[in-house]
Amino acid sequence: MMNFQLFDTLLEAVFVLNKNKEILYCNEVAATLAGSTPRKIVRAKNQIDGIFTFETKEDFFKLDEITESTPYRELRFKNQAGQNGIVQVTLQKLEGTDSEDQWLVYFRDVTLEEQLQNKYRAQLEQKEGVILELKKAQNELENYSKNLEELVSQRTLEITELNRTMMALLNSLKQGFFIFDESGDCLPVFSKACESILETKPAGKKIWDVLKLPAEKIAGLQRWILTVFGEMLPFEDLAPLGPATYPHSLEKSISIEYFPLHDEHNKIKGIVVMASDISDLIQAQHEAENEKARVRLILQIVQNKKHLRTFVKEIESWFTLLGEQLVLSAESINLEEIKRALHTIKGNAGLYSMKDLVEVTHACEEKVSDHSLEIWKPFLTAALPKMRQHFQSFLNQAHEILGPQSEQRENKIEVSEQDLKNLCDVLSFWSKGRHLSQKLSEKYLQQHLHNLFEPFNQVAQQTAVQLGKQVQPLKIWGPDIALGNLDLSPLFSALIHCFRNSIDHGLETPEVRQNLGKLPEGRIQITTGTLLKENKDYLFFSIQDDGAGINPQKIREKLASRGISTDNESDEAVIQHIFDPSFSTKTEITEISGRGVGLDAVKAAVHDLQGEIHVKSVMGQGTCFEFYIPLLPSTVAPAELPSTKVA
């Protein structure tokens, strides 16, 4: 029997068939041509015309008629894998086999050759077309060259006229226009306004010299130019990254804009720079902003008139504390007290839109939190007079808004209240009148708890707008308690941090709330009352939101990063750490939160009153701050009826 392994090394496809056209052997090349493997083909006993479908209907494999090698025949086929090709086929009967007749089928794959021929044929046809086009262009060029001199003269005249018109147009504009190339060189074309707006003639100069860039910014501009001309990103995305202003020597406001100049291939070949004097526009915007700020200030002062006196008293006390701390030695300074003072001043100043005071206080907060005492102490010492100055300016505006007769009106109110008190004393002799006098005295002569919460409605609304959130008006549930001689002003001065914290950390954005099945407007509810706890009377109130709640795991991770273990603490105990000094889960510091000072200040104010503060929270449902302030038996009395109202 013939050893078919002789054909394994051939580079052409070889099949060996029996008289039934069944494949007894095929080498690797033949199996690849068939879209299979030698083992699968031989074991399946496939017939040659079963694994190949030939275009010709002629039975080319009439094995009984083949006694000697057949001439090569070119056939088109499709294999089992659906691949098409062209082969040249020859058949030959094998001599000297022992058992049955066998035939050798030799395939020469010429598919690639035909593809190359078709490709070269197409290229040749294309070249012939190009040759015809070139001949046509040559004829047109010969005709054009006959009148070239006249055409050049006419075109030169048109270009000269166009340049003259363009320069007249540029010089008539009030903006400064010029162009620079990828090397940063300014081209000769520029408008006359550049001489006044940019204080120079740009032609032949570098763009960074024209715009008076400082030395440390030139490399950045050069990288920007490289990126723009490399067209790595869309021009409209890169244009805002270029220098946007020019430092005019007369302190004019000059804006800079950039526009691409493309060639015939739509590639950027230059950048057009437009410089505009917007000093009048900026001045008008400042005046409009100042007017808006004044309107907001008037509204806030009028709306929070009852809170104004307490606010002024507390701010002045914080200023006094800062001044006292700054004269102490480094060992005696209470850093946490200073942080709380700054954060509380900033929060309350924001309520009255005192932008200048907020900015100065925020800068001081950053210095105190991020630098050593040798750096922040001189900075704060220099800033404190500025803070007092801004605050005094606010007081002057408040006095102007409320009018010079405000003090007289307050005196008249005091007289009226005294008259009312005398009337109540008279009525106290009557059995039924005694009950009425007590109510009238409580209502008109004592400070009530609900009134203290009224300014925080404005705080909540302002903070929500600033953060792109929505919040309903504050709701107060429970009795309106008369406070008597209990002074809660320091606590309520710090309480602004609780409301801002509820909106910043707690309430979700309207879109998120709607996705969670909540109303887009968040809800903050205040509950008031008195209670007996451990044989002591306490004033109780809570501030509850319906936001995302506090995640104990985040607090554990934050504490772990500071080397504090909470393994033995419950989730309820862990969330109490939000009152720790300088604790915050936020990674970004803003004017609202991020330094972990606000709730620390609230806790300190509560402790000054010998009270307690506690936080409860349920993930996805909200957070509740609970306050317990101890009372003497005669300190407070509830108003006549429990009430529900909107602050």
DSSP assignment of 402-463 equals H-TTHHHHHHHHHHHHHHHHHHHHHHTTSHHHHHHHHHHHHHHHS-BHHHHHTHHHHHHHHH
pLDDT of residue 100: 77
CA distance 386 to 556: 40
pLDDT of residue 172: 67
What pLDDT band is residue 457 in, cutting at 50, 70 and 90? confident
Q: What is the mean pLDDT of residues 524-553?
A: 91
Backbone torsion region of residue 423, taken as left when φ is above 0, otherwise alpha when ψ lies between -120 and 50, otherwise beta:
alpha
User: Is the confidence at residue 139, as pLDDT, over 80?
Assistant: yes
The candidate with the shortest Cα–Cα distance to 646, out of 452, 444, 454, is 454
pLDDT in tens, 170-210: 666 678 889 999 999 999 988 888 999 999 999 999 999 99
Per mean pLDDT, which of 92-101, 316-325, 510-519, 585-594 is the most reliable?
A: 510-519
Phi and psi, residue 594, nearest 5°: 125, -15
- 3-class secondary structure, 88: strand
DSSP assignment of 471-535 equals BPPPEEEEEEEE-TT---HHHHHHTHHHHHHIIIIISPPHHHHHHTTS-SSB-EEEEEEEEEETT
pLDDT of residue 433: 42
pLDDT of residue 299: 67
Per mean pLDDT, which of 391-400, 421-430, 512-521 is the most reliable?
A: 512-521
CA distance 243 to 557: 42
CA distance 31 to 25: 10
Please answer whether residues 380 and 337 qualify as being in contact, where contact means their C-beta atoms are separated by less than 8 angstroms.
no
What pLDDT band is residue 54 in, cutting at 50, 70 and 90? confident
What pLDDT band is residue 1 in, cutting at 50, 70 and 90? low
Per mean pLDDT, which of 80-84, 284-288, 548-552 is the most reliable?
A: 548-552
DSSP assignment of 578-643 equals GGSTT----SS--SSSSSS-HHHHHHHHHHHTT-EEEEEEETTTEEEEEEEEE--TTT-EEEEEEE
What pLDDT band is residue 587 in, cutting at 50, 70 and 90? low
Give me the half-sphere count of Cα atoms (radius 13 Å) on the Cβ side of residue 457. Answer: 17
- 3-class secondary structure, 37: coil
Please answer whether residues 340 and 604 qualify as being in contact, where contact means their C-beta atoms are separated by less than 8 angstroms.
yes
CA distance 376 to 523: 39
User: Is the confidence at residue 622, as pLDDT, over 90?
Assistant: yes
User: Is the confidence at residue 251, as pLDDT, over 70?
Assistant: yes
What pLDDT band is residue 588 in, cutting at 50, 70 and 90? low
Least confident of 117-126, 184-193, 417-426: 417-426
User: Is the confidence at residue 94, as pLDDT, over 90?
Assistant: no
Least confident of 161-175, 395-409, 413-427, 512-526: 413-427
The angle, 0 to 180 degrees and rounded to 10, between the axes of the packed helices 455-466 and 305-326 is 70
pLDDT in tens, 596-609: 567 888 898 899 99
What pLDDT band is residue 99 in, cutting at 50, 70 and 90? low
Output the six-digit token pair for 510: 């309207």
User: Is the confidence at residue 437, as pLDDT, over 50?
Assistant: no
Give percent of the chain with pLDDT exceeding 90.
29
Please answer whether residues 559 and 585 qualify as being in contact, where contact means their C-beta atoms are separated by less than 8 angstroms.
no
- The residue with greater pLDDT, 96 or 116, is 116
User: Is the confidence at residue 578, as pLDDT, over 80?
Assistant: yes
Please answer whether residues 273 and 207 qualify as being in contact, where contact means their C-beta atoms are separated by less than 8 angstroms.
yes
Between the alpha carbon of residue 428 and those of residues 431, 436, 439, 635, the distances in Å are 7, 8, 11, 21
Containing 345, the helix (H) or strand (E) segment is: helix 335-351
pTM over 0.85: no
Least confident of 251-260, 413-422, 544-553: 413-422
User: Is the confidence at residue 574, as pLDDT, over 80?
Assistant: yes
Per mean pLDDT, which of 213-227, 378-392, 399-413 is the most reliable?
A: 213-227
CA distance 287 to 291: 6
User: Is the confidence at residue 424, as pLDDT, over 60?
Assistant: no
Output the six-digit token pair for 174: 């009030």
What pLDDT band is residue 619 in, cutting at 50, 70 and 90? very high
Q: If you average pLDDT over every residue of the chain, what do you get?
A: 82
Taking the CA atoms of residue 390, residue 398, residue 486 and residue 579 in that order, the dihedral angle to the nearest 10 degrees is: -40
pLDDT of residue 249: 92
User: Is the confidence at residue 484, as pLDDT, over 90?
Assistant: no
pLDDT in tens, 309-327: 667 777 888 888 888 888 8
pLDDT of residue 257: 94
- 3-class secondary structure, 25: strand
User: Is the confidence at residue 354, as pLDDT, over 90?
Assistant: no
pLDDT in tens, 629-639: 998 655 555 54
Give percent of the chain with pLDDT exceeding 70.
83
Q: What is the mean pLDDT of residues 462-473?
A: 89
User: Is the confidence at residue 533, as pLDDT, over 60?
Assistant: yes
pLDDT in tens, 259-282: 999 988 899 999 999 999 998 888
pLDDT of residue 96: 59
User: Residue 587, exposed/middle/buried by CB under 10 A (0-12, 13-18, 19+)?
Assistant: exposed
Strands of 52-54's sheet in order across: 23-26, 13-18, 102-109, 84-93, 73-79, 52-54
Q: What is the mean pLDDT of residues 229-237?
A: 90
Please answer whether residues 105 and 16 qualify as being in contact, where contact means their C-beta atoms are separated by less than 8 angstroms.
yes
The candidate with the shortest Cα–Cα distance to 595, out of 351, 387, 335, is 335
CA distance 410 to 404: 11
Output the six-digit token pair for 195: 């001489």
CA distance 242 to 538: 62
User: Is the confidence at residue 409, as pLDDT, over 60?
Assistant: no
User: Is the confidence at residue 610, as pLDDT, over 50?
Assistant: yes
Please answer whether residues 29 and 12 qualify as being in contact, where contact means their C-beta atoms are separated by less than 8 angstroms.
yes
What pLDDT band is residue 438 in, cutting at 50, 70 and 90? very low
Angle, CA 489 vertex, CA 486 and CA 492 arms, to 5°: 115
Least confident of 175-184, 386-395, 578-587: 578-587
Q: What is the mean pLDDT of residues 417-443?
A: 44
pLDDT of residue 56: 79
